[in-house]
Amino acid sequence: SRSYSCRLQHWALLSVSLLNCLLSTACSVGLALAVALTVHSRGTHLVRGCNSSALPVDARAAIVTNDCPFNTTRIYDTALALWFPSLLLAAAEAVLSGRCCLVALVFQGIGPCAHSYGKEQVRPTGLI
């Protein structure tokens, strides 16, 4: 019973860490794409929803029109300032989730590192 519970926990750890690694990687790729498209277009994609012919080619130019539902003066810098830390944190989360997934595989006895950790070294501990 105890061994079954421990193996179930290891499989749950493997499943959750693999899912989180995939989601974090997808988030990192999406953020990197958003940053690349925004920098390449100089922010024009950020103000595309505004219906004004007065919008500049460069979104960093300060303009305020009534045709846009938000203030366009700082959208370029603000978007990049928020996306870069988010990108770094999502990438770090993907790496840590991948490492957690590898640990779960070692606990299951799967993978190249699993043979160096014998069953006697990775023993389930009792709950207090």
Whether the predicted pLDDT of 114 surpasses 50: yes
**CA end-to-end span of the chain:** 17
Per-chain mean pLDDT for the chain: 76
Angle at 41 between CA 36 and CA 44, to 5 degrees: 120
Alpha helix (H) residue ranges in 65-117: 75-108
pLDDT band of 115, cuts 50, 70, 90: low
Q: Which amino acid is at 75?
A: I
Task: Give residue 102's pLDDT.
Answer: 87
Distance CA 11, CA 30 (A): 29
Sorted by where each begins, the domain ranges of the chain are 1-42+84-110
The phi-psi region of residue 71 (left if phi > 0; otherwise alpha if psi is between -120 and 50; otherwise beta) is beta
Chain segment 18-31, per-residue pLDDT in tens: 999 999 999 999 99
**What would the mean pLDDT of 51-75 be, rounded to a whole number?**
59
Token pair listed for 117: 């950790």
Chain segment 65-106, per-residue pLDDT in tens: 555 666 666 777 788 889 999 999 999 999 999 998 888 888
Q: Which amino acid is at 108?
A: Q
